[in-house]
Structure 1
Amino acid sequence: MPRFTARHPLRVLGVGLALALGVAAVPAQAEPDAEPKVRIFAAASLTDALNTAIERFEAGHDVDVVPVYASSSTAARQVARGAPADLYFSANEQWMDWLGEQGIELAERADLLQNRLSLIAADDETASFTPGDGTPLSELLADGERLSVGDPDHVPAGIYTRQALESLGEWEALAPRLARADNVRAALALVERGEAPRGIVYRTDALASDRVHELGLFPLDSHPAIRYPVALIDPPADGAAEAFRAWLGSDEAMDVFARFGFEAAGAER
């Protein structure tokens, strides 16, 4: 069955209604001077960097790029349910794999960026703390305090967090004390507002906030590599989505991402 019917049920319904009423169904057309529009569904941790990258791209191209940010899991589910997305930019490979398993055609898929997992605090009482150095992370939490994380059941940052804590032998002690957020930016916000004294987010999130500071990074071998794959999804024929996808892998775009703490996927550490 063509994917048109799955991704655009309201449009199909509109055509059928027009025919039933005896009215010619004429496809809506963009204004002659309207800019092509590209919709990208992206992980919340990409917000600041991708917004800046989009501004740079739009400055040199007559294209309107519209980002939609959510946890990678939420964004993937929205696309699978028919949300009008031209690209999907995930914070882990598993949700990109899942999207392909739902029958969504993924084109020009590639791992673009990589990140680190960071322990953060809202106060400056603890100058530094290296997870895995022998001191339990739970010692940073007083009685009744919780550790802010992306929900380990579906949010990539939370999934990496669980893997890291399991690797360090701290998951069982900390699992009951987690403040689970719907995405990594929500986990960051809990620490920024003082609702949780400590949190685990991506390093890029820690660097993006002036209300938290980074205590330390989790060991690279405590969890799988944090990679960000991107792919085209049923792009329109005008070529705008393909052009933006190609630009995202350019040196110009990588310079933007590097300013926000991202590294190119596969870069040596």
Structure 2
Amino acid sequence: MNTHIKIILFTLLVLGTGITACKPKKSAEETEKRILVFAAASLTDVLSELIDSFGVSTGYTVQTNMASSGTLARQIEQGGTPDIYISASKRWVDYVDSLGFIVAPYKTNIAFNELVFIAPKESILTDVTIDKTLDLNKLIGSGRLAMGDPGHVPAGKYGRQALGYYGWDTQINEKVLPAKDVRSALMVVELGEAPLGIVYKTDALKSDKVKIIGSFPEESHKPIVYVAGICNESDASKAFYSYLTSKETAAIWAKYGFKK
């Protein structure tokens, strides 16, 4: 190897070392101020505003992993390590708790939602009264009913309960189009790929491509409650948990159609 090549290689080595040395390392304080939240997909919009508001007042950084509550529970079971888990189903958060991943006593209800029928904005379907006299099979026609997969999506489970309450589950079972989460069910109706869907009221309100044509009575399904639990106890996680449950967030929840 000649001298010229040696000089070039040495220069590249020095530059590479310098670049590596100049990469900023996160301080322990920065790491402590980061919070990872696993949350139900239906909370995407309201949680985004809550995080912004929380960050401005505290300086904490909150990162999210949004999916169906069941999917998130399985991720935690298989090694996922959130600081806080927010489920749209008490059943799933209780399951995570039973595995020892929720830190006592940090588990509480933080908000409530409603279940509604939606149709594409331009649909000829109009407002309906949801009771036993409604002919749901006729309402769907030759199309499909979009809803979260009852196997792991809370919105789908509530939907299945409501269908069963009115005796519709067996009538329209083959017409159900299961989606991976409630947002996906909403999108199917937005795209006109299904004439009817069952989603949370909060998701329907955020879309200008669908319309609500009926609201399910509370007695037709179990209460749609969002439950938060701390999985990793720290000053940061406790601060965000307290913020979520505080009265000062009530206006933000209400803005997106949730009830406290």
What's the % identity of the aligned pairs? 38
The answer for the alignment partner of 1:125 in structure 2 is: 124
Counterpart of 2:43, as a letter, is L
The answer for the alignment partner of 2:88 in structure 1 is: 91
Q: Is 1:196 aligned with 2:194?
A: yes
Counterpart of 2:156, as a letter, is G
Instruction: Tell me the SS of whatever aligns to 1:263.
Output: coil
Matches within 5 A, 1:214-229: 214-229=212-227
The higher radius of gyration belongs to 2
Tell me how far apart the structure 1 counterparts of residues 211 and 217 of structure 2 sit (CA, whole Å): 18
- Equivalent residues of 2:37, 2:62 under 8 A apart: yes
Deviation of the 1:127 alpha carbon: 2.3
The answer for the alignment partner of 1:23 in structure 2 is: none
Tell me how far apart the structure 2 counterparts of residues 210 and 260 of structure 1 sit (CA, whole Å): 14
Matches within 5 A, 1:33-182: 34=30, 36-107=33-104, 108-122=106-120, 123-132=122-131, 134-143=133-142, 145-182=143-180
The answer for the alignment partner of 1:263 in structure 2 is: 259
Count of paired positions: 233
Deviations 1:16-71 (A, max 9, x none): xxxxxxxxxxxxx8415626100110001101111111111111111100011000
Provide the alpha-carbon RMSD of the alignment: 1.4
Higher helix share: 2
Tell me how far apart the structure 1 counterparts of residues 88 and 212 of structure 2 sit (CA, whole Å): 20
Tell me how far apart the structure 2 counterparts of residues 104 and 33 of structure 1 sit (CA, whole Å): 25
TM-score by length of 2: 0.86
Deviations 1:105-144 (A, max 9, x none): 333101111111000000341220122151221211222x
- Equivalent residues of 2:108, 2:228 under 8 A apart: yes
- Which residue of the other structure, out of 211, 216, 221, is the alignment partner of 1:213? 211
TM-score by length of 1: 0.83
Runs of 4+ off more than 3 Å: none
**Where do 5+ consecutive residues of structure 1 fail to align?**
1-28, 265-269
- Which residue of the other structure, out of 232, 250, 257, is the alignment partner of 1:254? 250
